[in-house]
Chains A and B, each alone.
Chain A
């Protein structure tokens, strides 16, 4: 970054520093390794085979049964409770949920951010201040009334009810995107006005294409947070049809006997819940890492 260099000489101090760094990396990765390792272990082996780094008899049965690809009998034989699970469907639900929220919220907040940054209309700064004040209202405070609202609207256990509170806006995205639009150079837009473009034309043809970076940042951050959502979808989307991966994991644990949880199945399901974000990290890891510089210190 910025042409900074790092000294490459290896001395005892640097050696120790690298050793500490490796410990940190191992501590970060090991729990995930253990998750996958357990997911690949037959349930029957769990009492005897629980220290080695690799399973003695690797199997895919746990993945097959949490994906709903085995019969009830096979399910029981492999250590399950017999309850049919369908994590393929839960994954699809989660992807729809995240995609809907990220796409629409980013678009709507960009529109508003642009209006607050560039358009002139009476009461602009007052309206902006009121919207931003919502940053001070913690989610738990609006959670209870929103639950009652969604219930009254008859949207319980529907995708619409689940995405409703975050689909249109979050105060932070409006704030962040307005900041960015304020920093865009004005001359391009002014040239476009002279060419006869109205506010919409400028927004779509000039402002949006110039803000690809920040839009992707907000979009990705929104996807990550939506992927992690638990309490809200747990309250309004418990039904099998719209169940998200996180809610399904919670239900799976509850259905599993307390004294002897179905660990191999739970770890297979957990692995599936990590897989999409791992892919995100592999393909857009650089963007994600850079987005922290954006949202953190700017």
Chain B
């Protein structure tokens, strides 16, 4: 078998055809083909191993690692941004709260100030009014006094005149004035 295999390609082909084609040996158990297959397998498999271990796998690994790193980096960046936005939100809220209290304080202060000013104004106005009232009252009193004293004179004159008309006698002015005083008092 090996001899016929050893002859040039034409002879080898004829041999295989005759041998394996029709009812010959079972090709997988044809031991004359083993050496050729083994040599090819060794060359092919070693080539494959070298290609896979030197080029293919490191390349795939680097790409997968790069992707992993990119994903982790992106996640970290996202976390950082989230933290930043959380901090900004917190700062905004504290700022808002302090602004609110400040606004309240300013409002209160303004209200108090305005109240105080209004109170003071009211007081001065009241004082002024009171002073005016007092002055007016005084004037009324003096006017009344004056009027009263005039009334007395007029009353005394009238009483004297009445008495003279009735009696024909001019009454004593002293007696008239005391009588007028008495009646005014009553």
Q: Do A and B bind each other?
A: no
Which residue numbers of A lie inside 8 Å of B, CB to CB?
none
